[in-house]
Amino acid sequence: MASTYSITEGQAHFPKMVKEVQAGYITTITKRDEPVAYLVSRERMSAIVETMEILANPAAMKAIRDNEAGKLKFYTLDDIPD
């Protein structure tokens, strides 16, 4: 569930907005009915940054594409020689 507040409403309801965000919701802040900012939890922002870093890493993206194409082989720890 997403919530939307105008800047004026956001100033009046900031503690409520923080509680909503902590509960996992995304809050949109608007100015003249146009979104100007989003309030997200630290956990969600960390996940977004991590995803962007993976998407920007060519080696990671190749590994993901290879996995999706079934080109990778996985082993258990017992399969690794000492």
Distance CA 55, CA 49 (A): 10
Taking phi over 0 as left and psi of -120 to 50 as alpha, with beta for the rest, 3 belongs to beta
Which pLDDT score is estimated for 74? 85
pLDDT at residue 82 is higher than 80 = no
Q: Give the pLDDT confidence of 8-52 residue by residue, as tens digits.
A: 999 999 999 999 999 989 999 999 999 999 999 999 999 999 999
Domains and CATH numbers, the chain: 3-40 (3.40.1620.10), 43-73 (no CATH)
